[in-house]
Chain A
Amino acid sequence: MDHDTDLGGPALAFPASRCSVVRAVGNPDPAIRRQAFADLVSAYWKPVYKYIRVKWSTTNDDAKDFTQAFFAHALEKDIFAPFDPARARFRTFLRSCVDGFVANAIRDSSRLKRGGGSEVLPLDFDAADAELRVQALAGRTDLDDFFRQEWVRSLFCGALDDLKQQCATAGKKMHFEIFLRYDIEGPETVPPPTYEQLAREFGLPVSQVTNYLAFARRQFRQVVLERLHGSTGSEEEFLEESGRLFGGVKP
């Protein structure tokens, strides 16, 4: 029996809900703190890097240095400790920390050399630069909006990687492939693929394409929400952001 024709199909075994890495970076246990910090960097480094490039009009080398130095400084000085979810979103708080850090660095003319005494994080700046080149940045005046959009992009890209990995582990590669063709490549294709085309391409009945897509979308949503939960500062912020992302959909 093909379980995917059952109502919803069998659910993938996803990891338990991530606790907020924002809160975990203040954990007294160094191992937890370090892991949380790594997750936080993974979620925010690209938005931070692009934001520095756009807001501060820096060269890519300077932006790379600032990004590396900012996260190294954050880890060393525990600058996220004063974050108060009652006062602002974590994203807003982080952005103001970045602004303060870059402003100080420029004022002191102490351009930080990459790797100068600090751990160098393995961040793919070339990819971020390539993205910036294809992005329509002209007319971007709302930097808060820009930073948020980059954060959403980073969140969704990470979620897509997670989904790919989890589908592969669960033996559901085709589910992911169909999702990729229809929902990721589809909006960029003219005309977008139809269910019938995908059914022919993958040798499935149309109803199965519907079921596979529904399954992948459901799991994608779950992964996005897992990641979102990890990168927001409080339950309220998580609910607000998830509502903003998905139009009021319950996490």
Chain B
Amino acid sequence: MNWLSDNVLAHLCKLDNEPDLSGTRYEMIEKIGQGGMGSVYLVRDRALDRQLALKVLNDVPSGAIVEARLEREARIIARLEHPGIVPVHDAGVLQDGRLYYAMKLVRGKRLDEWVYRATSVPERLQLFEKICDAVAFAHAHGIIHRDLKPQNIMIGPFGEVLVMDWGVAKELGQNQSVSNQSDKNGPLEASQTIQGTVVGTPGYMAPEQARGDSAVDAGSDIYSLGAILYFLLTGQAPAQAEHDPDASMPASTLIPPRRLDRSIPRPLEAICLKALSAEREGRYTEVTEFVADIASFRAGRRVRAHSESLIDAARRFGSKYRAVIALVLAYLLMRILLLIFAGF
């Protein structure tokens, strides 16, 4: 062969990296995403004539560890049957030796691409509760996510929420609670894992996770959820520093949400900051407790994270019973007016 054009060379480089789907029931349509561990392709399931997302491992030299991760991710997701967690339909090994798993094709936007200002605070909180529900479900099954961030959350066209990318999730022992740091994942699952890197994403990662402590548990997910709430309230991550464990946002260096947006209610800010507490003990102990505080806020009840003053309590009372108070005031005003006119 004497001549290959630049166009053909580019094509050959690209096709070589495409997964080999021969012998499977899937037909390649296009690549739709790329992550640290693998790439995601839009494929057609010939047997059932439907489109799926196929996550395929990037064939890299550190394959053994990464393959274990992908396998485990598929296994973990398969265990978590919840509307907020994308279901896995199939897993296996491709002809080219790469591991894959087929999952439901999620159409929608990532939370970080979602225009948060287009919705009201109550709507954003409703969405946040759905994220928390999925995470709480996983925790109840002994699994912590460890990389919760807006990029790993998909919002469907009907407002459905899906928590994605369980590749660095930690699977706890059967009789262990999520706050117990022992796990059954072996050396792979220490917080300092693949090639000495820290699991998680700066800005959304709990300080203990950033330090590479082995004591990573549900509290770390609660911190990340707090960071997501911060994002939902302000449109930005709590800290956007480069990856630097020492600078990874102890609470004292956090800019409180109200400093970025004065319209954020104080109790909501307090909830957010409690979840983002640098010390594990300062945070909510469980996601359900966190969600309960959010629900209290939405219902106009007192929240645990906020010790309110008399004025705050009056304001909350006023806000909660606005209609009743207005009616009573209108009634009283009418009576006064009647008395005045009766005097004449």
Identify the A interface with B (CB < 8 A): 6-8, 124, 127, 130-131, 134, 149, 152-153, 156-157, 160-161, 164, 183-184, 186-188, 210-211, 213-215, 217-218, 220-221, 224, 239, 245-250
Contact = CB atoms under 8 A, between A and B. Distances in A.
A246 B16 contact: yes
Given A153-B9, A248-B58, A217 B4 contact: no
Given A211-B23, A214-B20, A156 B58 contact: no
Contacts of A248: 17, 58-60
A157 B2 contact: yes
Contact of B13 (A164, A184, A245): A245
A34 to B, nearest CB: 25
B33 interface: no
Contact of B23 (A8, A221, A245): A8
A6 to B, nearest CB: 8
A48 to B, nearest CB: 17
A176 to B, nearest CB: 11
B17 A187 contact: no
B63 interface: yes
Given A214-B20, A214-B21, A156 B12 contact: yes
Contacts of B12: 156, 183-184, 220
Contacts of B2: 124, 127, 130-131, 157
A164 B1 contact: yes
A8 B4 CA distance: 27
Given A8-B22, A210-B22, A250-B61, A221 B8 contact: no
Nearest to A224: B16
B1 A217 contact: no
Interface of B: 1-17, 20-23, 27, 58-61, 63, 95-96
28 contacts: A7-B95, A8-B22, A8-B95, A127-B2, A127-B3, A130-B2, A130-B3, A153-B3, A156-B9, A157-B1, A160-B1, A160-B4, A183-B12, A184-B4, A187-B10, A188-B5, A211-B23, A213-B22, A217-B20, A218-B20, A221-B16, A239-B61, A245-B13, A246-B13, A246-B16, A247-B14, A249-B16, A250-B61
B13 A247 contact: yes
Given A156-B12, A157-B4, A248-B60, 5 more contacts: A130-B3, A157-B3, A213-B22, A217-B16, A248-B59
Q: Chain A interface mostly helix, strand, loop or mixed?
A: helix
Contacts of B61: 239, 250
A54 to B, nearest CB: 15
Contacts of B21: 210, 214
B59 A249 contact: yes
A193 B15 CA distance: 15
A250 B57 CA distance: 11
A183 B20 contact: no
A187 B16 contact: no
B62 to A, nearest CB: 9
B1 A218 contact: no
Given A248-B58, A249-B16, A214 B63 contact: no
A183 B1 contact: no
Contact of A187 (B3, B8, B58): B8
A211 B95 CA distance: 10
Contacts of A221: 16
Contacts of B15: 183, 217
A187 B22 contact: no
Closest 7 A/B residue pairs (Cβ):
A214-B22, A160-B1, A250-B59, A187-B11, A8-B95, A247-B17, A7-B23
Given A246-B17, A250-B60, A161 B95 contact: no
A7 B2 CA distance: 33
Contacts of A130: 2-3
Given A8-B95, A211-B22, A161 B1 contact: yes
A153 B4 contact: yes
Greatest chain A CB density within 10 A among B10, B14, B60, B95 is at B95
Contacts of A211: 22-23
Given A7-B95, A250-B59, A156 B20 contact: no
B266 to A, nearest CB: 48
Contacts of B16: 217, 220-221, 224, 245-246, 249
Nearest to A180: B1
A7 B21 CA distance: 10
Nearest to B39: A247
Contacts of A217: 15-16, 20
Contacts of B11: 183, 186-187
Contacts of A214: 20-23, 95
B215 to A, nearest CB: 33
A8 B59 CA distance: 17
